[in-house]
Structure formats: C-alpha cells, structure tokens
Chains A and B, each alone.
Chain A
C-alpha cells in the first residue's frame, strides 16, 4: 500500500531561519501518528507542507502518493484542522456545514449533522460565539465529513481545557475507528498523544529526532540501571540517548535493536513520555546555541 506520508530530505527555510531540515520519513497507512516537539520545533511546518499550504525549499514530499494540494482530488483526500481551529466568525454552524457540502464532492452530510447534533451545537449560532472547544469540534466536523483518507490536525487541543480536550480526542478516536482513515496530529504534550497514537515522530530544532511505531520504540528503548561505570562501556549494539549518574549508580536510556540481558544492567521499560523527553534532552545538549529554540 502507498505510504500516507513519504518525505526525503524535506527542507523548508523561512529566509535564513530553518523551519524544517532534511526530514526523511515513511509513514505506513492506517496509523494514528503523533507529532511531538517543543514550540518552534517545526511541527506546523511539516504539517503545512503535508497539506500543501507551504511548498518545500528542497527535498521531496508525497502524501497518499500525490503532491500535496496538487488538485481537487488530492485536496479531497486530505482533511486538515489548522492550529487554533480557524472558522468564519460571522458564519453560523449551519453555514459552515453548507460550505463543506458545497466545496467537497465526497461530503457526508449525515455524518456532519449527526456530529453537530450529538455535540449539542446550535445550528443558527455564529462560529464566533462558540467556545474554543465547540469551535474545535466544528472544525473537526468539517474535516471529518469530507471523508478524507488522511486527517491532519495541528495542535488541535492546545487551547482547550482538560474536559474539552478529552472530548475532542474521544471524537477523533471514534472517527478513526469508523473510517479507518490515517491521522497525523501534533502536540507539544506527550500526554495528549499517548492514549491515541500508535506511531510517533519527535521533532526538535527543525529536525526529526526519532520516528517509528510506538510499540517498537518502547521495545527498543530500555532504561538501564546499574552500578556506576564509565559511560563509554556500552552494552553491545546500543547507543546512549541519555545518561545520568549518581555516586554509585548509572542510569542510561539507550537504543538497542536487541534486548539487553547481560546481567550487568537491570533493564526497565520506558513510558512514552520518558522516551520523548530523553530525545529532547539529547537534542538540547549542545546547549548555548540551541537555548533559543525552546521558546
């Protein structure tokens, strides 16, 4: 099957400032992909390149086998919920659904109406008077009812309160379960993604640090705890992602394709957040120059 997203050396610069550098990715279909990284890491750049709002400075990108936004067919196959979930403030909820119906050949009005009714949104209410959570749901409804094969969401829950956040992710999960579509969503919080994603991309400072299936990532990134020793003495085939030492004890987070069972180290399974933080901390190590990137 065609990859949902395939990039090779994908680069986007804003003047001299790098937005995304040399990004090579292969995302198989049917995944819910979490894109995580600090603010300014390049998440929005990558997503906007995927939906064709931006064009690359260099490199190649294919989405569902086609060029992003190359024509009405390609646009119809990809749904996008932009950051801050923009809607037309003076158009009503019903107007937005009509907009969707008029502009999308594969529009499923029943899905749209059902979702709006279930959310309890007033059809006659202007979108500008909806709460943040309701607006996000409206934007998601628009993207979902066009029945895309890939749904891209840029920080959809960043501005929502915890309850609205949960409800939003809930309805996103319902959509993926019903439609079987692929999803890419970004967040700067791993907790948002942990429950919903089965594929993870970690971005920092415009570069991809790691990408892969969540289960595989967790299986190949153990935390090793043992007596303090020289960090150069590594278990065979393992690369250190993060190392910390006390007087007596060393704790390493390593990447290793084979399980580590040498009797020297005590191997523990990481959770996703620890893994992401380990990579981000590693990226931040050549510190002084990169300090600016955290904000």
Chain B
C-alpha cells in the first residue's frame, strides 16, 4: 500500500518539494537581509542596552520593496498552501479513483477498503502537515525580527501564518478534500466544494471564533488622550465619539470604547463652546479631560499567543478527526 500511495502521489510530491525549496531559498535570502538590517540599524543592541530607539531605524530599513514583498509572499504562501493541499492532494485522492472506476481494481486486491484509505490518508496527511509545518518554520525564522519588533503576531492576518496554526489548517484542508471527494465522487466539483468550505471555515474562525477561544481580558482605565487619539468625531446634533489609542504591548485589541463614569458608552453631547470649528483641538481635549471618562478595553494579551495558537489548532484537528471518521463511515456504507 505504501508503495502504491507513493507511486500515485509522486508528481504532486515533486511539485510540493520544488515549491518548498524555492520558497526556502527566497525566504532564507530575505532572512539574511533582515538580519543585516537588524545589526546595521543598531536595533540588535536594544535587548541588551534597553536603548530601543534604533528600532525605528530597523523598521525603516526593512520597509523597502524587496524585503516587504518577500515578507508578504512568505505569509501569503502559508495562507495558500493549506487550501491548495486540500484541493490538489485531498480532493482527488478518492474522487479520481471513483471517477475512473479504478476503485473497482484496487479494492479487489488483498487489502481491505479501510486499510487502503487509512494508509493513503495517513501518509498524505503527514505530507500535508509536514509541508505546512516546514514552510511555517522557514517563514518564522525569516521574519521573526519584523514580527516581534515592528508588527504584532496577534493581528488576525499574521496570526494565521505563524506558529502551528498553518499545520492545523493543512490537516483540516487535506482531510476536507478527501471527505468531499468521497461524498461527491467527482474530482472537479469536490475541489470546488473543498475550496469553498475551507474558505468559509477559516473565515469564520478569523472573524468570529478566534477572539473567543480564550476568555478575553478586560481593562478599564482613566481616559488618557495624551497617548494619542484614534477617533474623534462630532455630529451635527452635538453627539460625539472619542476613542483614545490603546497601549497594551503586543495585545490584540478586540474592543476599545470610551465610557462615562456610570459605565455607559460616551456619546456626547459635545460642548459647542469648547469643541468646534472656532476653538482649537487643545481646548476640546482639555474639556474632555474634565469629564472623568474612562477607556474600556477588551483584549487578548501578547502572552497568550501560543495558547491561542494551540486552541485554534485544536479546533481544526477536531474538525479533521470528524471528517476522517465520516470518510471511513461513508466509504464503508456507500454503494460502488
């Protein structure tokens, strides 16, 4: 079975390996360039001396066309690999056999249908996970200095392309493809369904689920406009909206509201003599400071990066396990 699995998978494996090697070379070069910028900008001294002003230089030095493009490509590749694995490795695995009728050949060798599926699923799922895992490792190594010092790993788009989450995506996408193939029995429709369901699942995770994987933290402090203003708006009827910037290092801010001392969201009214076209912004800020407003934050702290990573991987591995169980069950009971 192992030989047959390898023989049928050979072409896809070569395509995968070539992609991985090409990505590794490009990302290694980029990693070297980022490392050089790190020392040249003086940012390398930051952890030792505590003089981190040079980080600005580092951010500036890496903000050039080639570095950014390769950085984005690496991240994008990690988002593309799982669905591609699902569509081109997973979906055809069983669907192509059913479509070509070769299941009637292979299921009548001296190997049970369960074992046939188990070996194929096991080996190729391992390959999918290894593919995504190795790529994630290379991307991590190549871009960790930017991730840690310029960006924030918890931001939704970076989070899904770092750490172990891509592995969970790849395992889920592959198994989803196989299950779709078993159910639909035709390669191209199975590919389309795989892509659609995968996109919906990951989209739902990013938009609605991830923030709640761990109970978010709450923090209410006195409103401090000197930290920077994110939003300040005054409507025609005097209704007002003010949001100060949130300053929690590396945190993923889920909600940032300004509330009154009574705990209600502050909506004005604005005092037209203090805040308006005729008076300067300074007067308005001073006036706001007299209102005793508070900033209420809901957030996931930076320290939870790995907890959230494992939680998300867990969700997708459970989904993958359910799909595997469904695949075996359906293949066993289906009519040939």
A residues whose Cβ falls under 8 Å from a Cβ of B: 14, 48, 51, 53-55, 69, 71-73, 75-76, 78-80, 82-84, 86-89, 91, 95, 98-100, 102-106, 139, 142-143, 146
Contact = CB atoms under 8 A, between A and B. Distances in A.
Contact of A104 (B110, B113, B333): B110
28 contacts: A48-B336, A51-B108, A53-B104, A53-B107, A53-B336, A54-B335, A69-B107, A69-B108, A69-B113, A75-B111, A75-B112, A78-B108, A79-B108, A82-B101, A82-B108, A86-B100, A87-B102, A88-B105, A99-B3, A99-B7, A99-B109, A103-B106, A103-B111, A105-B110, A139-B105, A142-B105, A143-B108, A146-B110
A75 B110 contact: yes
A83 B105 CA distance: 10
Contacts of A139: 105
Nearest to A105: B110
A122 B44 CA distance: 65
B214 interface: no
Given A87-B102, A143-B108, 13 more contacts: A51-B108, A55-B335, A69-B108, A71-B112, A73-B110, A86-B104, A88-B102, A88-B105, A99-B106, A99-B109, A103-B1, A103-B110, A139-B105
Contact of A82 (B104, B109, B110, B115): B104
B8 A88 contact: yes
B100 A91 contact: no
Contact of A89 (B3, B100, B107): B100
B21 interface: no
B4 interface: yes
Interface centre among B102, B109, B115, B336, by most chain A C-beta atoms within 10 angstroms, is B109
A175 to B, nearest CB: 16
Contacts of B105: 82, 86-88, 139, 142
Interface in B31-72: none
A78 B110 CA distance: 9
B334 to A, nearest CB: 9
Interface in B90-130: 100-102, 104-113, 115
Contacts of B106: 99, 103
A102 B1 contact: yes
Interface of B: 1, 3-4, 7-8, 100-102, 104-113, 115, 333, 335-336
Contacts of A55: 333, 335
Contact of B335 (A14, A98, A146): A14
Given A69-B113, A104-B109, A91 B104 contact: no
Contacts of A14: 335
Contacts of A54: 335-336
B108 A75 contact: yes
B109 to A, nearest CB: 4
A261 B258 CA distance: 111
A80 B111 CA distance: 13
Contacts of B108: 51, 53, 69, 75, 78-80, 82, 143
Given A54-B335, A82-B101, A102 B107 contact: no
B104 A80 contact: yes
A103 B335 contact: no
Nearest to A14: B335
Closest 10 CB pairs of A and B: A82-B104, A103-B109, A76-B110, A53-B336, A80-B108, A86-B101, A104-B110, A75-B110, A102-B3, A86-B102
Contacts of A98: 3, 7
A69 B4 contact: no
A103 B105 CA distance: 11
Contact of A69 (B3, B7, B8, B112): B112
A258 B317 CA distance: 71
A19 to B, nearest CB: 9
A91 B7 contact: yes
